[in-house]
Every structure is written in C-alpha cells, then in structure tokens.
Amino acid sequence: MTTVHPHDAVEVIRTKRDGGAVSESALRWLIEHYTKGYVSDAQMASFAMAVLLRGMEREEIRVMTDAMIASGERMDFSSLGKPTVDKHSTGGVGDKITLPLAPLVAAFGVAVPQLSGRGLGHTGGTLDKLESIPGWRAALSNDEIMAQLADVGAVICAAGSGLAPADKKLYALRDVTGTVEAIPLIASSIMSKKIAEGTDSLVLDVKFGSGAFMQDIDRARELARTMVALGTDSGVNTTALLTDMNTPLGLAIGNANEVRESVEVLAGGGPADVVELTVALAREMLTLAGQPDADVEAALRDGRAMDVWKRMIRAQDGDPDAALPTPRETHTVVAERSGVVTRIEALPFGIGAWRLGAGRARAEDAVVHAAGIDLHVTVGQPVTAGQPLFTLSADDGARFDRALGAVEGAWEIGDAVPAASPLVRERITA
C-alpha cells in the first residue's frame, strides 16, 4: 500500500525559497523524513541553501530544533539531585577552556555533563586534546556518565549517537554543500544536541574574530541571541558571552601542549587570558546553578579544582600524572628586530598547527598529539632581536615548511604598544 504523505519536500523548499515561513507540521515532517531517508540529500541541500539565503523566523528555528531533538533520545539528569550546567564554545585557536572549567565548576557541588566533539580543520577538538593523556577514553555509556556525575561531578566525553541523529546527518550535508554559515542551521545544530543532553542550564561562549567560526562580531551576536532564545524557549536557563578570538587563546595551540597549559591553570598559574575566560565562564555557570557568590579563584588556588580534574581523568581510565607525548622535531622562530609584539593572528596559527599534524582534514584522519605551536610571547610584550617568538613541534620535520608558510605575515613587531581590547565583549541573556 502506498503511503500518503501530508507534505511534499518540493513544496517546503519552494516556500522557503520564496521567503515564506514553513508551517510547524511541514518542518517536523521534513526533519523526521530526512532522518528516515524518505527526503533525499538533494532535497535537504536545497532547503538548507534556501535557509542560508532567506533566513528563518524565531518560531521556525524553535520548531526545527525541537524536531531534531525528537529524532533521538533525551538524557535526564534529574535523579542526580544536584543542578546540572554545561558550556558550549563555538571553537577557536588555543581554546582549551573546557579542560580546566569542568572540574572547577564541579568543585562547587554542581554536575557538569560536558559532551564534546573532535576537531576538524583549524579548530581543535576537546576529545583530541584529552586523548593525549595515556589511557583516557572518550566513549562512555549513559550509565557511566550518570555514575561519574554522581561521584566526581564532572565528565567530558563523546556525545552518544542517540542524541539528535537528524543533526548528525544534516551537519555532514551542510559541510559539503556550502551551507555551514546559515545562522538558523548553526543554532539548531548546536542547541538540538545541548537541549537533548538534558542539562538544567547552559552557558555559550560565542567567539568572533579571525580565528573564530563567526569572524564578524555582529554575526556572532546574532548567533548568540538566536541560541539563547532557543535554550530559553526549551526551558533551559541559557546565557552567552561574546569573546574575542582575533588572537590565539593562551600560549599553546595543539593537543598535549594544551593539556599541559590547562593543568597549569588548575595549579593556580597559566596564561592570564586563559585564567580570565575560565573564571568568567565558571562564574556564569555557577550563577545559573544558584551560586552567584562562589569564590572561583579560591578553588584554583587551593587545589580543589585540581583534585576534581585528577578524579575525572582517572574515572575515564586516564593517568593524570603520566608524561604527555613530546615531539620528535621542533623549530623555533626568533625576532628579527627589537620592539613590541603588535599582532599575533589566530587563524594562521591555527592552520599552522593543523599542518603540523595537530588537526585533521577529514573526520577519519588521526591527529598527532605532540604536534602544535607554543607561543613564547603575547601581544603588547616587548622583545629583543634574537628572542624566541614561537616554536613549531611535529613528529615529521618535513611539515615545518608548510606550517611556516601558513603563519608567514601573521605576527608583527612594531614600536608602539597596541591598544588592549577586552577578551569578554558582551553578555547576552534572554
């Protein structure tokens, strides 16, 4: 018997192509039947392009996000008996904030279920960084996640395939059809997974600048507002911070070296910008979890956050005290003149680390955990001729030329100290 469908994919595409709003029942039908394979990749690609060109209304984005959530399972942390709060970053160069942040927030009795991903291209993946720790494993069952949250309070692991499978399918399609940049699709992709994850509260770190997904601050603000609205409409307490990603975050860009830098922060040290953003996001998360007066800096100073970090790594079979991978080859670039560092551009340094082996070009590629770039200077710092500026690390010295090509012209030494710009630019609420 032939199934009679209440909607037609071509009609949905035409509606959006002509700038109309797609009805709730049609949108839900489209997402459900794309997940099942009835709506073809070609049709969904046409719809995605129409969204990129025509946009979507707030209610359409809400319905599409909800339909993507409904395509899979929803996690439920209510049995933990404590508030849950998560953080999502739109990704950048040297962004290792999740690593010190999750144990820091958990040190205050809040559960932090941080379901993370892998890197692709110049933005590193949290799981890739953590996998440089000997023995550590990313894949946990839902029961293991619940047990670890009840015991340790923090978990950083891979999201299960059961969460928003519609998004996984649509994300892969957007990647190869030039529709990645559509704000409604970015927002529904991120938020479908985060809402399905079942957390009470969510803080978004939305980056702008040369090393960010959204280079323009106005576009980043639009994305942040769209995602905060989606979370709020779904009953998740959601706020966002707009943060600057024109310069790499911290001094380490890679995998093992970013773990080392994260541990420095947990030990009460580390680069000032990494500490600043970790503290700002922790305060935001703890405020949503009902602890606006928590002394976050004290938990870094007195070792409480470090204790949770070690327990979290051990719970996932990692050895927090083991030596991290070191590179076979290094190459250091020095200053050709004396002066002040006026510019270090994030994107070229991200691409340089990727070319050294720290990232992957295809999802199935392996990363080299010891590869990456270590900066020895920051913007605004005086330098003398011959002083080391940064060191490239790789397991294969043949990679250095292409990495040096990527970063050529991406830093500058001048005579005047540049004006400082704030790392956290805005806070966006419902």
Query: Looking at the annotation, which residues are catalytic?
Result: 88, 167, 174, 189, 193
Distance CA 239, CA 230 (A): 11
Distance of CA 360 to the CA centre of its chain: 16
As given in the structure block, the two tokens for residue 383 are 């330098």
As given in the structure block, the two tokens for residue 286 are 């703890």
As given in the structure block, the two tokens for residue 35 are 């997940």
As given in the structure block, the two tokens for residue 288 are 């949503």
Which DSSP category does 214 fall into?
Answer: B
CA dihedral 207, 213, 216, 220 (to 10 degrees): -50
User: Is 294 strand, coil or helix?
Assistant: coil
Containing 46, the helix (H) or strand (E) segment is helix 41-54
Q: How far is CA 105 from each of CA 117, 199, 202, 288, 314, rounded to the nearest angstrom? A: 20, 14, 13, 11, 18
342-376 residues labelled b (16+ CB within 10 A) or e (exposed): eebbbbbbbbbbbbbbbbbeeeeeebbbbbbbbbb
User: Is 97 strand, coil or helix?
Assistant: coil
As given in the structure block, the two tokens for residue 229 are 């609205």
> How crowded is residue 32: how many other Cβ atoms within 10 Å of its Cβ?
16
Containing 344, the helix (H) or strand (E) segment is strand 339-344
φ, ψ (nearest 5 deg) of residue 144: -65, -40
